[in-house]
Structure 1
Amino acid sequence: MTITQTGADPDANPTVAHAGVRIAIMTDETGWHTGRLKKAFRARGAEARCVDLADCRIDTTWRPHGLVVPGFGHALPDAVFVRGIAGGTFEQVTLRLGILHALRESGVPVYNDARAIERSVDKSMTSFLLHRAGVPTPPTWAGESAAFAQRVLMREAAAGRQVVLKPLFGSQGHGLKRLGARRGLLAPLPSLARYQQVAYLQRFVPGARPGFDWRVLVIGGQAVAAMRRIGGKGWIHNFAQGALCEPAELDAPLAQTAVRAAAALGLDYAGVDLIPNPDDTARPLVLEVNGVAAWRGLQSVTPVDLAAALAGDLLDRKLAARRRQIEQAGEPAFAVLPGRHA
């Protein structure tokens, strides 16, 4: 599939166009992903450095912005790529997301921005927004009442169905429990203490064996690569849980559904997890949408340079749109881009 980079000038030299551009890659750990991103930005003439959000701070005496981003002095980066946000206390995570909000309010393009990440990291909000946008997704219930969750479980079991209990915040298939009647007996709902007293239940959709799901990477409103994740730990098909990855064809239903899912959450880039819909093959079901998506498994089965595609979309679409906005306001972009302030 061809990637079209919206906003790019086909006659321009991209290395020259982005010379001197400074990118902050927000991450709590460095490794394969950050190495690929830094190389991709460097190939486009931009300089990228890794910054831990935990090391950033709001300081209203720090002129002229009131924001301190290590490695950028009194300036701000020209753009931010969010690769990872470390877990922590509610206050710590709130502050880290607040830094991303503050960068956006300061005119720095943030990829993905804090609001989109907040939507995607909260599975209940993801389910709500997908449902509201008409994106196919399994029936879902979320609440703090264990009694209500037990009633949902009993009702689904009475109809011969099972549900999956998931942590509201979580990834890589950790903490998932499949619930329902087994051997004619209905097990009670597990204690919600492990789930921070929140029940997020999603109807289990049985599939073929061996089971599989799709991971589609959406970049800048386009589905650019897909894989099937087969096997893994029982019915959980995450790469981190031992699933095998193989290339998958990006047919129209798969690509269009993934793009609509990313758009529903307002994400610049997203890893969209889908499964076949037993009731309608033309409408695959979206299980989750990852706003800080890893792509190492996907890169192993696609010829598309995914880091280059991500870097290109940030520079040629998101940053270019910000520059045009500034120029239309009557000032040259080079004079007022955040990173140019001293």
Structure 2
Amino acid sequence: MTRKILIANNQSGNRTTALVNAFRQRGCTVVMEPLSALEFDTERPHGLSFAGFGDARPDALVVRSVGAGTFEAVTRRLGVLHALRKLSVPVWNSAQAIERCVDKSMTTFLVKNAGLPTPPTFSVEGFDAARSVAERELRRGPLVLKPLFGSQGRGIRRIDRTEDLPPPEEMDDTYYLQRYVERAGPPFCDFRVFVCAGRVVEMMVRRGDNWITNIQRGAVPGLVPQDLRARLSDYALAAVAAVEADFAGVDIMPAADGSLQVIEVNSMPAWSGLQSVTKADIAGTIADEMMRFLDERERFASLAALPRSAGEVVPVS
């Protein structure tokens, strides 16, 4: 049986093309469409119109991007993902995992409650509330202000004094403030760990002259020292489990005191920089793990459908 895989993405690139090719090489029919193209339609058999598949449900959906849009538009797209899960279509990552990761305050909350080290963080509404946090916390050192919804280092700024706080219209009246992690540099560095289906695929160190060490900001990827890999793996696996993501990129920062701090979990991670320094086939790994998941689901469904004798135990593994 040829499996139908839908990849939700707004624009093609080398990594997305690699993902499409990876599924096709495994015998799948693949359609790539923006999530905005999937529609609720209660006249359809399943209540949804599936881009590229008509009335037929895809066997799985992989989300590469949700796409920019109004609050209403993004809410509708996430609703489509929730609906697909209701129809028992596997969605990697689920709407719930995406919601948890896109909202940095919820990510930090879950990471902290999982017992992982992460910088003190404060998320408030209104300029007066932000100024109150800054006046109190700046006595202990600088803060970092980030957009609540943002990626690739865009919109991040260091706050050294209350006057550095931007007006509310620049932040949609919502301020996410995190303790600045003191570390060696320049060059500055942090780590990105890529996790898929409960295992670490690969990791990289990112080094740059800017304290914001994203590849898109000019940082250069490299190999992670062997003595750090075990600790980074443990933290990354726990962080991904905390947000319940199927695959994710975890950003971990080395502090000047020798500790490691979990900064973010990305549910729609890019991996061009990582792929450039590793022999691991990241797109192929995602495809393999999804195929394995579908195989296991079909196997358990077949076992459950078999007639059973009275008192017979159904194997679960």
TM-score normalised to structure 1 length: 0.85
Match of 1:285 in 2: 261
Match of 1:53 in 2: 35
Q: Distance in 1 between matches of 2:76 and 2:188?
A: 40
The DSSP-based 3-state class of the residue aligned with 1:138 is: coil
Matched letter for residue 219 of structure 1: C
Q: Distance in 1 between matches of 2:168 and 2:257?
A: 32
Q: What pairs with 1:243-322 in structure 2 (closer than 5 Å)?
A: 243-249=219-225, 251-281=229-259, 284-317=260-293, 319-322=294-297
Q: Cα–Cα, structure 1 residues 178 and 188, in superposed 2: closer, same or farther, change >3 Å?
A: closer
Of structures 1 and 2, the one scoring higher in RCO (CA 8 A, sep 6+) is 1
Match of 1:24 in 2: 6
Matched letter for residue 159 of structure 2: L
Q: Distance in 1 between matches of 2:303 and 2:69?
A: 41
Cα displacement (A) at 1:328 = 4.4
Q: Is the 8 A contact 2:35 2:66 kept in 1?
A: yes
Q: What pairs with 1:48-197 in structure 2 (closer than 5 Å)?
A: 48-63=30-45, 65-159=46-140, 161-181=141-161, 187-197=163-173
Q: Distance in 2 between matches of 1:126 and 1:324?
A: 34
Cα displacement (A) at 1:205 = 0.5
Q: Is the 8 A contact 1:34 1:50 kept in 2?
A: no
When structure 1 is superposed on structure 2, of 265-274 and 40-49 the one drifting more is: 40-49
Q: Is the 8 A contact 1:270 1:289 kept in 2?
A: yes
Match of 2:315 in 1: none
Cα displacement (A) at 1:71 = 1.1
- Name which of 301, 304, 315 aligns with 1:326: 301
Cα displacement (A) at 1:172 = 0.5
Q: Is the 8 A contact 2:184 2:256 kept in 1?
A: no
The DSSP-based 3-state class of the residue aligned with 1:131 is: helix
The root-mean-square deviation of aligned C-alpha atoms, in Å, is: 1.7
Cα displacement (A) at 1:321 = 3.8
Cα displacement (A) at 1:66 = 1.1
Q: What pairs with 1:225-240 in structure 2 (closer than 5 Å)?
A: 225-231=202-208, 234-240=210-216
Matched letter for residue 174 of structure 1: R
Cα deviation per residue 1:223-278 (whole Å; 9 max; x = unaligned)? Answer: 1111111115x211001111111121462110110111111000000010010134
Match of 1:336 in 2: none
- Name which of 174, 178, 185 aligns with 1:198: 174
Cα displacement (A) at 1:323 = 2.0
Cα displacement (A) at 1:191 = 1.0
Q: Is the 8 A contact 1:145 1:198 kept in 2?
A: yes
Q: Is the 8 A contact 1:109 1:322 kept in 2?
A: no
Q: Is the 8 A contact 1:130 1:261 kept in 2?
A: yes
Q: Distance in 1 between matches of 2:256 and 2:222?
A: 22
Gaps of 5+ in 2: 307-317
Match of 1:4 in 2: none
* Aligned pairs, number: 304
Q: Is the 8 A contact 1:38 1:47 kept in 2?
A: no
The alignment-based identity, stated in percent, is 45
Q: Distance in 1 between matches of 2:61 and 2:199?
A: 20
Q: Distance in 1 between matches of 2:10 and 2:224?
A: 31
Cα deviation per residue 1:106-147 (whole Å; 9 max; x = unaligned)? Answer: 010111111100100000000111111111111100010322
